[in-house]
């Protein structure tokens, strides 16, 4: 911490030197290299319609609050959050040298600027439409969306030749941003850039910045006490070198035998889905054959990468924490930018082995299952009965991720990972009818009084949860343990299966964190990821004797089953 703001001083000086709109691109790309995205989000990823090739892509962004609705809602909670945000912005600006009057005035201007950006941003549910958020255009056409930006300076700062074409997510956002660049004072842009740099790196800056960040963050987390420094540094190391740490993790916690077990479990779930597709009465044979092709082509990555990244060129030293954070950000920026125009590396992982999470990559048509997601705290893998494993791993993770390839968004990608509609119109309509029913189910849920889950934004995750628990049960019923029917701890195999599924979602959240999740996350809160899908299953009702009048009872006519 003795380094103070010295590490940021060159960037702060560059921000202070801004005099014209032409400087905006130059400074924005400098901040991006240090790990701070401003104005909009830039990334390199597979072209959704040509999954073999990486492309430079632009997406709406630039906000300091977690989601656009925080700027636009007029309820008392949103008004209070915006009031706290103003104080937080002013606090960081004061801590970096502005006097109190100027800091509070700049905070008002930043909020007004970001509110205009939020107004032009699409809401969460509309960002899930892959077709509607894909606009590939020649470089010159893209530049006309945002002509106020000096694109020559932008690409020079990125260290790349301007590509022939780019992919834009939300064109109307960039048109609105162009108006803001032309009409917003340079003093406000300077304050906006300075605030975002400080906000993004505050956790690794002196205490006056770190505590300001923590205090404001409590608005969304409800946290009472800040984590000790050693835990915060470990989190920072995880962000920078997580894959390298993962090599150590798997040596201890995920041996070859365990990996083989879960690779086999993936194949069992693949078979389960194939058998269920065969029995769907709402799907035509032509779509069914395409679904088989996609399922058979779906790749699995289990546990950890077969090829590890080389981090030897990352410049880490002992001068200061924030310098190391920026050095790591710069390394990752160069790594990602180096992918532009190149073939997609289908061996790469976007999560670390120790991560308690998993994902489906539509462009690669693959499921990626880190070792950490299979770990039951306090127990070795060999100590787990099949019911627990099939509920905890096969249903909530493997089945869930496979179903993402066939949810409302993933189903639009074909077996090669290209955004192509392979459904007949009739089958698509039948799917959407079933999806609408699960949307209505979750729209009705209120985690907090007056705060409803966004059923449309969470559709994909809710479909994956429901499908995953069905696939896990389908596969579990073939096991010897299930067929023998012997209880363990007083619970039948099928009861333990459902308990194993619930085990993956054990957590506690404060109301502040719960509210933030509902407004910003494509996943429903954990409680409803258990009770929501299970209430749709007749097997669950039978296993626990759920009857009319019980909280989780759902009449058969309201239950949803898609896959």
pLDDT on residue 319? 85
Tell the residue number behind the tokens 């003795």, with chain if given.
2
Q: Tens digit of pLDDT for each residue in 426-436?
A: 999 999 999 99
Can you list the alpha helix ranges (DSSP code H) found in 164-320? 171-183, 186-201, 207-221, 229-253, 256-278, 285-297
Contacts of 303 (CB under 8 A, 6+ apart): 250, 254, 258, 259, 262, 353, 369, 370, 371, 374
pLDDT of residue 379: 87
What pLDDT does residue 504 have?
87
Return the pLDDT at 1: 47
Across residues 182-206, what is the average pLDDT?
96
Tokens read off for 349: 């992982």
pLDDT at 3 over 80: no
Close Cβ partners of 108 (under 8 Å, ≥ 6 residues apart): 86
Region of residue 12 (phi > 0: left; psi between -120 and 50: alpha; otherwise: beta): alpha
Q: How far is CA 178 from CA 41, 117, 139, 183, 511, in A?
A: 15, 10, 16, 9, 38
Arithmetic mean of pLDDT over the chain? 95
78-112: per-residue pLDDT in tens?
Answer: 999 999 999 999 999 999 999 999 999 999 999 99
- The predicted structure's pLDDT at residue 382: 86
Give me the pLDDT at residue 4, please.
Answer: 76
* CA 418-303-258 angle, 5° bins: 135
CB 142 within 8 A of CB 168: yes
Class of domain 255-304+347-558: alpha beta
CA distances to 36, 318, 425 from 124, rounded to whole Å, are: 22, 41, 26
Buried b (16+ CB within 10 A) or exposed e, 157-194: bbeeebeeebbbbbbebbebbbebbeebeeebbbbbbb
Write down the residue that tokens 């059923």 correspond to. 455
pLDDT one-digit tens code per residue, 442-452: 999 999 999 99
* pLDDT surpasses 60 at 551: yes
Question: Is the pLDDT confidence value at 2 over 70?
Answer: no
| 390 contacts 500 by C-beta, under 8 angstroms | yes
* Threshold 0.85, pTM exceeds: yes
Tell me the DSSP string of 107-160: HHHHHHHHHHHHHTSPPGGGGG-TTTT-EEEEHHHHHHHSTTS-HHHHHHHHTS
What's the CATH code, domain 6-226? 1.10.1380.10
* Residues of each domain in the chain carrying CATH 1.10.1380.10: 6-226
User: What would the pLDDT profile of 116-173 be if each residue is shown by its tens digit?
Assistant: 999 999 999 999 999 999 999 999 999 999 999 999 999 999 999 989 999 999 999 9
CA-to-CA distance for 276 and 295, rounded, in angstroms?
12
Residue with tokens 């770990």: 375
Give the span between the Cα atoms of 36 and 196, in whole angstroms.
7
Which residues neighbour 266 within 8 Å (Cβ) at sequence distance 6 or greater? 300, 302, 367, 369, 398, 402
Q: What is the rounded average pLDDT of the residues 68-80? A: 94
3 state DSSP class of 524: coil
* Domain(s) of CATH 3.40.390.10: residues in the chain: 255-304+347-558
Instruction: Report how far residue 528's alpha carbon sits from residue 532's, in angstroms, rounded to the nearest whole number.
Output: 5
Which tens digits make up the pLDDT trace of 470-499? 999 999 999 999 999 999 999 999 999 999
Q: Report how far Cα 392 is from the mean position of its chain's Cα atoms.
A: 21
Using the predicted structure, report yes or no on whether residue 378 has a pLDDT greater than 90. no
Instruction: Tell whether the model's pLDDT for residue 554 goes beyond 50.
Output: yes
């Amino acid at each position: 911490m003795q380094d103070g703001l010295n590490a940021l001083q060159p960037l702060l000086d560059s921000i202070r030197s801004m005099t014209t709109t032409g400087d905006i691109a130059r400074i924005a790309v400098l901040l991006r290299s240090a790990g701070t995205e401003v104005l909009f989000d830039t990334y390199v990823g597979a072209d959704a319609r040509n999954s073999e090739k990486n492309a430079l892509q632009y997406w709406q962004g630039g906000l300091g609050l977690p989601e656009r609705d925080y700027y636009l809602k007029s309820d008392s909670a949103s008004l209070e959050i915006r009031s706290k945000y103003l104080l937080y912005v002013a606090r960081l600006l004061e801590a970096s040298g502005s006097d109190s009057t100027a800091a509070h005035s700049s905070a008002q201007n930043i909020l007004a600027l970001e509110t205009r950006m939020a107004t032009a941003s699409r809401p969460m549910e509309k960002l899930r439409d892959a077709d509607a958020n894909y606009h590939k255009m020649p470089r010159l056409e893209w530049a006309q969306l945002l002509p106020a930006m000096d694109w020559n300076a932008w690409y020079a700062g990125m260290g790349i030749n301007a590509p022939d074409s780019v992919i834009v997510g939300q064109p109307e956002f960039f048109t609105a941003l162009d108006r803001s660049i032309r009409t917003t004072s340079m003093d406000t842009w300077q304050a906006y850039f300075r605030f975002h740099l400080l906000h993004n790196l505050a956790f690794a800056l002196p205490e006056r910045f770190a505590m300001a960040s923590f205090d404001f963050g409590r608005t969304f987390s409800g946290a009472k006490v800040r984590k000790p420094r050693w835990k915060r540094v470990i989190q920072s190391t995880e962000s920078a070198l997580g894959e390298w740490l993962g090599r150590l993790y798997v040596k201890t916690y995920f041996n070859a035998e365990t990996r083989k077990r879960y690779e086999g479990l993936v194949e069992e779930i693949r078979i389960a889905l194939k058998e269920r597709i065969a029995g769907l009465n709402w799907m035509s044979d032509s779509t069914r054959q395409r679904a088989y092709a996609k399922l058979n082509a779906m790749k699995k990555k289990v546990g950890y990468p077969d090829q590890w990244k080389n981090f030897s060129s990352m410049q880490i030293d002992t001068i200061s924490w924030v310098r190391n954070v920026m050095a790591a950000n710069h390394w990752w920026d160069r790594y990602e930018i180096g992918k532009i125009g190149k073939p997609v590396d289908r061996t790469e992982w976007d999560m670390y082995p120790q991560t308690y999470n998993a994902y489906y990559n539509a462009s690669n048509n693959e499921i990626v299952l880190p070792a950490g997601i299979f770990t039951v705290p306090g127990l070795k893998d060999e100590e787990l009965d099949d019911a627990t494993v099939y509920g905890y791993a096969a249903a909530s993770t493997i089945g869930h991720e496979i179903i993402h390839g066939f949810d409302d968004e993933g189903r639009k990608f074909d077996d090669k990972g290209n955004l192509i509609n392979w459904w007949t119109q009739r089958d698509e309509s039948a799917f959407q009818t079933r999806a609408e029913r699960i949307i209505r189910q979750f729209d009705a849920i209120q985690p907090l009084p007056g705060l409803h889950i966004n059923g449309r934004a969470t559709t994909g995750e809710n479909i994956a949860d429901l499908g995953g628990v069905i696939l896990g049960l389908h596969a579990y019923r073939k096991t010897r343990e299930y067929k023998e029917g012997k209880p363990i701890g007083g619970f039948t195999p099928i009861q333990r299966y459902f308990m194993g599924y619930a085990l993956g979602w054990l957590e506690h959240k404060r109301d502040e964190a719960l509210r933030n999740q509902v407004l910003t996350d494509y996943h429903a809160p954990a409680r409803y990821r258990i009770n929501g899908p299970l209430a749709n299953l007749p097997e669950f009702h039978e296993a626990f004797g759920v009857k009319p009048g019980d909280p989780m009872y759902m009449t058969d006519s309201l239950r949803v089953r898609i896959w």
